[in-house]
Amino acid sequence: MKPLSDAGTNAASGESSNDRLEAERRRLAAIAQQLKIGAYHRHVLLCVGDSCCRAEVGAAAWECLKGELKRRNLSLAEGPQACYRTKVDCLRICTGGPILVVYPEGTWYMGMTADRIPRFVQQHLVEGQPIEEWIFARNPLPLLDDRPDAQARKAGR
């Protein structure tokens, strides 16, 4: 099969690249719907890369995070505490890990080992109270309505 970006028509099947792109878009949209993408209020990214922490430490933290989110019905859920989780290999800090970041707040945590994950989930994700002694940086994302392009659209510019 040709890559999705190829233009033209597949002579054998009569299928155009636009048809393939649309079919792929529908397939991915169905997966996103199953994962409840669009219903989340937070995204937790956990770095388990080998420059960040030892593999077994990262793996244990990831398994604990998955378990805690499922146990508290925060993963594959809807509502104000719904949370998406992603395991990553590099958040570019490369020390003091596992590193964890929560968006849209942009709260960066250090040393997020499996023994810290339950407290983090309860205190930060459930109660909305960041754990200050574990935080080393902040980078909150602006709300969509607060971005300059959104302000300009509202003003009719």
**Three-state SS annotation for the chain:** CCCCCCCCEECCCCEEHHHHHHHHHHHHHHHHHHCCCCCCCEEEEEECCCCCCCHHHHHHHHHHHHHHHHHCCCCCCCCCCCEEEEEECCCCCCCCCCEEEEECCCEEECCCCCCCHHHHHHHHHHCCCCCHHHEEEECCCCCHHHCHHHHHHHCCC
| The predicted structure's pLDDT at residue 90 | 94
Q: What is the pLDDT of residues 41-62, one digit of tens each?
A: 889 999 999 999 999 999 999 9
Q: pLDDT above 70 covers what percent of the chain?
A: 78
Q: Specify the CATH class of 42-138 in words.
A: alpha beta
**What pTM, to 2 d.p., does this model score?**
0.74
